[in-house]
Amino acid sequence: MAQGSIRRHLVVKILQAILTLLFVLTFNFFLFRGLGDPTQLLAKQRGNMTPAALADLKRQLGLDLPLPQQFVHYLWETVRFRLGYTFDNQPVSTTIAQAVWPTVLLIGTSTIASILLGVWIGIAQGWRWGSRFDQGWLAVTLVLYAMPEFWFGLLMIMLFAVTLNIFPSGFMQTPGAGYTGIANVVDILKHLALPFFVLTVAYLAEYSLIMRSSLTEVLTEDYIQTARAKGVRERLVRRRHAVPNALLPTITVTILSLGYVLGGAIVIETIFSWPGLGRLTYEAIGNQDFALLEGLFLVFSVAVIAANLVADLLYSYLDPRVRAA
Protein backbone atom coordinates (compact mmCIF):
# COMPACT_ATOMS: atom_id res chain seq x y z
CA MET A 1 0.00 0.00 0.00
CA ALA A 2 2.81 2.30 0.87
CA GLN A 3 4.59 1.54 -2.42
CA GLY A 4 1.38 2.24 -4.33
CA SER A 5 0.97 5.56 -2.51
CA ILE A 6 4.52 6.57 -3.32
CA ARG A 7 4.12 5.59 -6.98
CA ARG A 8 0.83 7.47 -7.27
CA HIS A 9 2.34 10.57 -5.65
CA LEU A 10 5.31 10.41 -8.03
CA VAL A 11 3.08 10.08 -11.12
CA VAL A 12 0.85 12.97 -10.01
CA LYS A 13 3.80 15.30 -9.47
CA ILE A 14 5.37 14.42 -12.82
CA LEU A 15 2.07 14.95 -14.64
CA GLN A 16 1.66 18.32 -12.93
CA ALA A 17 5.15 19.31 -14.10
CA ILE A 18 4.36 18.23 -17.68
CA LEU A 19 1.08 20.16 -17.72
CA THR A 20 2.85 23.24 -16.35
CA LEU A 21 5.48 22.93 -19.08
CA LEU A 22 2.78 22.68 -21.76
CA PHE A 23 1.13 25.81 -20.37
CA VAL A 24 4.48 27.63 -20.45
CA LEU A 25 5.08 26.58 -24.06
CA THR A 26 1.62 27.78 -25.06
CA PHE A 27 2.00 31.06 -23.18
CA ASN A 28 5.47 31.56 -24.66
CA PHE A 29 4.16 30.98 -28.19
CA PHE A 30 1.26 33.45 -28.01
CA LEU A 31 3.08 36.06 -25.91
CA PHE A 32 5.90 36.72 -28.34
CA ARG A 33 3.73 36.47 -31.43
CA GLY A 34 1.47 39.08 -29.87
CA LEU A 35 4.39 41.51 -29.79
CA GLY A 36 4.62 41.70 -33.58
CA ASP A 37 6.11 40.01 -36.60
CA PRO A 38 9.74 39.10 -35.75
CA THR A 39 10.72 39.12 -39.44
CA GLN A 40 9.77 42.79 -39.72
CA LEU A 41 11.96 43.56 -36.72
CA LEU A 42 14.80 41.60 -38.34
CA ALA A 43 14.34 43.56 -41.55
CA LYS A 44 14.65 46.84 -39.66
CA GLN A 45 17.70 45.57 -37.79
CA ARG A 46 19.59 44.33 -40.84
CA GLY A 47 18.29 46.99 -43.20
CA ASN A 48 19.13 45.13 -46.42
CA MET A 49 16.67 42.24 -46.63
CA THR A 50 14.95 41.78 -49.97
CA PRO A 51 11.30 40.69 -50.12
CA ALA A 52 12.47 37.25 -51.28
CA ALA A 53 14.85 36.92 -48.32
CA LEU A 54 12.09 38.07 -45.97
CA ALA A 55 9.70 35.46 -47.37
CA ASP A 56 12.37 32.78 -47.04
CA LEU A 57 12.98 33.78 -43.43
CA LYS A 58 9.25 33.55 -42.70
CA ARG A 59 9.24 30.07 -44.23
CA GLN A 60 12.21 29.00 -42.07
CA LEU A 61 10.51 30.25 -38.93
CA GLY A 62 7.19 28.72 -39.89
CA LEU A 63 5.49 32.13 -39.86
CA ASP A 64 3.94 31.60 -43.30
CA LEU A 65 1.69 28.86 -41.88
CA PRO A 66 -1.76 29.26 -40.30
CA LEU A 67 -1.61 29.87 -36.54
CA PRO A 68 -2.47 26.28 -35.45
CA GLN A 69 0.22 24.90 -37.75
CA GLN A 70 2.65 27.52 -36.46
CA PHE A 71 2.04 26.20 -32.94
CA VAL A 72 2.70 22.61 -34.02
CA HIS A 73 5.84 23.77 -35.85
CA TYR A 74 6.94 25.68 -32.76
CA LEU A 75 6.49 22.62 -30.53
CA TRP A 76 8.38 20.38 -32.95
CA GLU A 77 11.26 22.82 -33.30
CA THR A 78 11.43 23.28 -29.50
CA VAL A 79 11.64 19.52 -28.95
CA ARG A 80 14.57 19.46 -31.39
CA PHE A 81 16.21 22.39 -29.51
CA ARG A 82 15.92 24.61 -32.57
CA LEU A 83 14.81 27.91 -31.07
CA GLY A 84 15.31 30.20 -34.04
CA TYR A 85 17.95 32.85 -34.75
CA THR A 86 19.06 36.02 -33.02
CA PHE A 87 19.25 39.43 -34.69
CA ASP A 88 22.89 38.78 -35.58
CA ASN A 89 21.86 35.53 -37.31
CA GLN A 90 23.24 33.19 -34.64
CA PRO A 91 21.28 30.14 -33.45
CA VAL A 92 19.42 31.02 -30.24
CA SER A 93 20.30 27.65 -28.70
CA THR A 94 24.02 28.24 -29.32
CA THR A 95 23.89 31.78 -27.94
CA ILE A 96 22.14 30.59 -24.77
CA ALA A 97 24.48 27.62 -24.36
CA GLN A 98 27.52 29.92 -24.45
CA ALA A 99 26.12 31.96 -21.54
CA VAL A 100 25.13 29.01 -19.34
CA TRP A 101 28.59 28.25 -17.92
CA PRO A 102 29.37 31.84 -16.77
CA THR A 103 25.98 31.98 -15.03
CA VAL A 104 26.42 28.59 -13.37
CA LEU A 105 29.90 29.60 -12.24
CA LEU A 106 28.79 32.89 -10.69
CA ILE A 107 25.19 32.34 -9.59
CA GLY A 108 25.65 28.65 -8.76
CA THR A 109 28.68 29.09 -6.52
CA SER A 110 27.32 32.18 -4.77
CA THR A 111 23.96 30.49 -4.18
CA ILE A 112 25.61 27.42 -2.62
CA ALA A 113 27.87 29.61 -0.47
CA SER A 114 24.96 31.74 0.70
CA ILE A 115 22.92 28.62 1.53
CA LEU A 116 25.70 27.13 3.66
CA LEU A 117 26.47 30.38 5.46
CA GLY A 118 22.83 31.39 5.86
CA VAL A 119 21.73 28.03 7.27
CA TRP A 120 24.69 27.94 9.68
CA ILE A 121 23.93 31.47 10.92
CA GLY A 122 20.20 30.66 11.20
CA ILE A 123 20.91 27.56 13.28
CA ALA A 124 23.18 29.51 15.60
CA GLN A 125 20.55 32.24 15.96
CA GLY A 126 17.62 29.89 16.54
CA TRP A 127 19.50 27.89 19.16
CA ARG A 128 20.40 31.08 21.01
CA TRP A 129 17.05 32.76 20.43
CA GLY A 130 16.73 36.08 22.25
CA SER A 131 20.45 36.39 23.05
CA ARG A 132 22.65 39.32 22.02
CA PHE A 133 24.15 37.10 19.32
CA ASP A 134 20.69 36.40 17.91
CA GLN A 135 19.53 40.03 18.06
CA GLY A 136 22.76 41.29 16.52
CA TRP A 137 22.66 38.87 13.59
CA LEU A 138 18.94 39.48 13.15
CA ALA A 139 19.62 43.18 12.63
CA VAL A 140 22.42 42.38 10.17
CA THR A 141 20.37 39.90 8.15
CA LEU A 142 17.35 42.22 7.98
CA VAL A 143 19.57 45.00 6.62
CA LEU A 144 21.11 42.62 4.07
CA TYR A 145 17.68 41.30 3.07
CA ALA A 146 16.38 44.83 2.43
CA MET A 147 19.53 46.11 0.73
CA PRO A 148 19.29 46.63 -3.06
CA GLU A 149 21.78 44.36 -4.85
CA PHE A 150 22.72 46.94 -7.49
CA TRP A 151 23.51 49.54 -4.82
CA PHE A 152 25.69 47.12 -2.85
CA GLY A 153 27.40 46.00 -6.06
CA LEU A 154 28.24 49.59 -7.07
CA LEU A 155 29.63 50.27 -3.58
CA MET A 156 31.91 47.22 -3.83
CA ILE A 157 33.12 48.33 -7.26
CA MET A 158 33.89 51.83 -5.94
CA LEU A 159 35.73 50.44 -2.91
CA PHE A 160 37.65 47.41 -4.17
CA ALA A 161 38.02 48.17 -7.89
CA VAL A 162 38.29 51.97 -8.06
CA THR A 163 39.64 53.11 -4.68
CA LEU A 164 41.77 50.14 -3.58
CA ASN A 165 42.31 48.68 -7.07
CA ILE A 166 42.36 45.12 -5.71
CA PHE A 167 39.88 43.42 -8.03
CA PRO A 168 38.74 44.10 -11.61
CA SER A 169 35.52 46.07 -11.97
CA GLY A 170 33.96 43.83 -14.61
CA PHE A 171 34.09 41.12 -17.26
CA MET A 172 34.88 37.45 -16.75
CA GLN A 173 38.42 37.67 -18.14
CA THR A 174 40.88 40.44 -18.87
CA PRO A 175 40.15 41.58 -22.46
CA GLY A 176 42.98 40.80 -24.84
CA ALA A 177 45.20 39.18 -22.18
CA GLY A 178 45.15 35.73 -23.78
CA TYR A 179 45.92 33.87 -20.57
CA THR A 180 46.00 30.06 -20.64
CA GLY A 181 46.25 27.31 -18.06
CA ILE A 182 46.64 28.32 -14.41
CA ALA A 183 47.04 31.99 -15.30
CA ASN A 184 43.63 31.93 -17.00
CA VAL A 185 42.01 30.27 -13.96
CA VAL A 186 43.53 32.88 -11.63
CA ASP A 187 42.33 35.66 -13.93
CA ILE A 188 38.76 34.30 -13.91
CA LEU A 189 38.81 33.93 -10.12
CA LYS A 190 39.93 37.56 -9.72
CA HIS A 191 37.03 38.73 -11.88
CA LEU A 192 34.67 36.38 -10.04
CA ALA A 193 35.56 37.63 -6.55
CA LEU A 194 33.49 40.84 -6.40
CA PRO A 195 30.21 39.63 -7.97
CA PHE A 196 30.49 36.39 -5.98
CA PHE A 197 30.87 38.32 -2.73
CA VAL A 198 27.99 40.67 -3.54
CA LEU A 199 25.56 37.87 -4.39
CA THR A 200 26.60 35.67 -1.46
CA VAL A 201 26.09 38.48 1.04
CA ALA A 202 22.81 39.51 -0.62
CA TYR A 203 21.36 35.99 -0.66
CA LEU A 204 22.46 34.57 2.71
CA ALA A 205 19.98 36.71 4.70
CA GLU A 206 16.98 34.87 3.24
CA TYR A 207 18.25 31.44 4.28
CA SER A 208 19.31 32.70 7.69
CA LEU A 209 15.89 34.19 8.44
CA ILE A 210 14.02 31.09 7.26
CA MET A 211 16.26 28.72 9.22
CA ARG A 212 16.06 30.84 12.37
CA SER A 213 12.26 31.01 12.20
CA SER A 214 11.92 27.29 11.49
CA LEU A 215 14.28 26.24 14.29
CA THR A 216 12.61 28.57 16.78
CA GLU A 217 9.26 26.98 15.99
CA VAL A 218 10.62 23.43 16.23
CA LEU A 219 12.14 24.08 19.66
CA THR A 220 8.64 24.58 21.08
CA GLU A 221 7.45 21.14 19.94
CA ASP A 222 6.59 18.45 22.48
CA TYR A 223 9.16 15.93 21.23
CA ILE A 224 11.97 18.41 21.93
CA GLN A 225 10.76 18.84 25.51
CA THR A 226 10.43 15.05 25.82
CA ALA A 227 13.99 14.50 24.62
CA ARG A 228 15.28 17.02 27.14
CA ALA A 229 13.20 15.44 29.92
CA LYS A 230 14.82 12.09 29.14
CA GLY A 231 18.20 13.65 29.84
CA VAL A 232 19.44 13.81 26.24
CA ARG A 233 22.35 16.22 25.92
CA GLU A 234 21.56 19.58 24.37
CA ARG A 235 24.04 18.98 21.54
CA LEU A 236 22.28 15.72 20.62
CA VAL A 237 18.85 17.34 20.92
CA ARG A 238 19.95 19.96 18.42
CA ARG A 239 21.72 17.59 16.04
CA ARG A 240 19.28 14.66 16.04
CA HIS A 241 15.89 16.25 16.69
CA ALA A 242 15.74 20.02 16.21
CA VAL A 243 17.89 20.78 13.17
CA PRO A 244 16.76 17.86 10.92
CA ASN A 245 13.11 18.85 11.34
CA ALA A 246 13.80 22.56 11.01
CA LEU A 247 15.67 21.95 7.76
CA LEU A 248 12.57 20.76 5.90
CA PRO A 249 11.22 24.23 4.92
CA THR A 250 14.74 25.43 4.21
CA ILE A 251 15.38 22.51 1.84
CA THR A 252 12.34 23.46 -0.22
CA VAL A 253 13.48 27.08 -0.55
CA THR A 254 17.01 25.90 -1.33
CA ILE A 255 15.97 23.61 -4.19
CA LEU A 256 13.70 26.29 -5.66
CA SER A 257 16.56 28.81 -5.44
CA LEU A 258 18.81 26.46 -7.39
CA GLY A 259 16.13 26.43 -10.07
CA TYR A 260 16.58 30.17 -10.48
CA VAL A 261 20.33 29.79 -11.04
CA LEU A 262 19.87 29.58 -14.82
CA GLY A 263 17.88 32.79 -14.66
CA GLY A 264 21.05 34.56 -13.67
CA ALA A 265 21.11 37.82 -11.81
CA ILE A 266 20.28 40.41 -14.45
CA VAL A 267 21.28 43.45 -12.39
CA ILE A 268 24.55 42.03 -11.01
CA GLU A 269 25.64 40.45 -14.30
CA THR A 270 24.95 43.75 -16.07
CA ILE A 271 26.79 45.85 -13.47
CA PHE A 272 29.85 43.60 -13.60
CA SER A 273 29.59 42.95 -17.37
CA TRP A 274 29.49 39.23 -16.60
CA PRO A 275 28.70 37.29 -19.82
CA GLY A 276 25.93 35.12 -18.36
CA LEU A 277 22.26 34.55 -19.03
CA GLY A 278 21.23 37.55 -16.93
CA ARG A 279 23.25 39.99 -19.00
CA LEU A 280 22.15 38.21 -22.18
CA THR A 281 18.53 38.81 -21.14
CA TYR A 282 19.26 42.50 -20.54
CA GLU A 283 20.86 42.85 -23.97
CA ALA A 284 18.02 40.95 -25.67
CA ILE A 285 15.47 43.30 -24.11
CA GLY A 286 17.45 46.33 -25.25
CA ASN A 287 17.75 44.93 -28.81
CA GLN A 288 14.13 43.74 -28.91
CA ASP A 289 15.48 40.33 -29.88
CA PHE A 290 12.23 38.44 -29.42
CA ALA A 291 13.54 35.08 -30.64
CA LEU A 292 16.32 35.18 -28.03
CA LEU A 293 13.92 36.36 -25.31
CA GLU A 294 11.53 33.54 -26.21
CA GLY A 295 14.33 31.01 -25.85
CA LEU A 296 15.56 32.50 -22.58
CA PHE A 297 12.05 32.55 -21.12
CA LEU A 298 11.66 28.88 -22.01
CA VAL A 299 15.01 27.91 -20.44
CA PHE A 300 14.24 29.80 -17.23
CA SER A 301 10.78 28.25 -17.00
CA VAL A 302 12.04 24.71 -17.54
CA ALA A 303 14.70 25.19 -14.85
CA VAL A 304 12.14 26.44 -12.31
CA ILE A 305 9.64 23.68 -13.16
CA ALA A 306 12.34 21.01 -12.79
CA ALA A 307 13.51 22.47 -9.47
CA ASN A 308 9.93 22.65 -8.21
CA LEU A 309 9.42 18.98 -9.13
CA VAL A 310 12.62 17.97 -7.34
CA ALA A 311 11.60 20.00 -4.27
CA ASP A 312 8.15 18.37 -4.16
CA LEU A 313 9.55 14.86 -4.48
CA LEU A 314 12.36 15.45 -2.01
CA TYR A 315 10.06 17.02 0.56
CA SER A 316 7.57 14.17 0.28
CA TYR A 317 10.43 11.70 0.73
CA LEU A 318 11.75 13.49 3.81
CA ASP A 319 8.27 14.04 5.28
CA PRO A 320 5.88 11.09 4.62
CA ARG A 321 2.96 13.20 5.92
CA VAL A 322 3.03 15.10 2.63
CA ARG A 323 2.43 11.87 0.66
CA ALA A 324 -0.37 10.88 3.01
CA ALA A 325 -2.09 14.20 2.42
Domain locations along the chain: 2-79, 96-324
Q: Which of 25-29, 135-139, 252-256, 260-264 has the lowest mean pLDDT?
A: 260-264
Tell me 241's DSSP state.
I
Confidence of residue 198 (pLDDT cuts 50, 70, 90): very high
Confidence of residue 272 (pLDDT cuts 50, 70, 90): very high
pTM for the model stands at 0.81
Mean pLDDT across the stretch 214-236?
80
CB contact at 8 A, 5 and 324: yes
Neighbour tally for 253: CB within 10 Å? 17
Q: Could you give the residue ranges of the DSSP H alpha helices within the chain?
A: 2-33, 38-46, 51-61, 67-79, 92-103, 109-127, 132-146, 149-156, 181-218, 222-229, 234-236, 243-259, 266-271, 277-287, 290-318, 320-324
- pLDDT averaged over the chain? 82
Q: Could you give the CA distance from residue 248 to residue 315 in angstroms, rounded to a whole number?
A: 7
% of the chain with per-residue pLDDT over 70: 87
Higher pLDDT, 34 or 211: 211
264: left (phi over 0), alpha (psi -120 to 50) or beta: left
Question: Which has the closest alpha carbon to 303: 322, 278, 275, 270?
Answer: 278
For residue 4, the model assigns a pLDDT of 60
For residue 1, the model assigns a pLDDT of 41
Higher pLDDT, 255 or 187: 187
Question: Which has the closest alpha carbon to 111: 17, 200, 244?
Answer: 200
The answer to whether residue 321 scores a pLDDT higher than 70 is: no
Specify which residues 85 forms β-bridges with. Answer: 91
Domain 96-324 falls under CATH 1.10.3720.10 = yes
79-112 per-position pLDDT tens digit? 888 887 787 778 889 999 999 999 989 988 998 8
Question: Which has the closest alpha carbon to 211: 164, 248, 236?
Answer: 248
For residue 193, the model assigns a pLDDT of 93
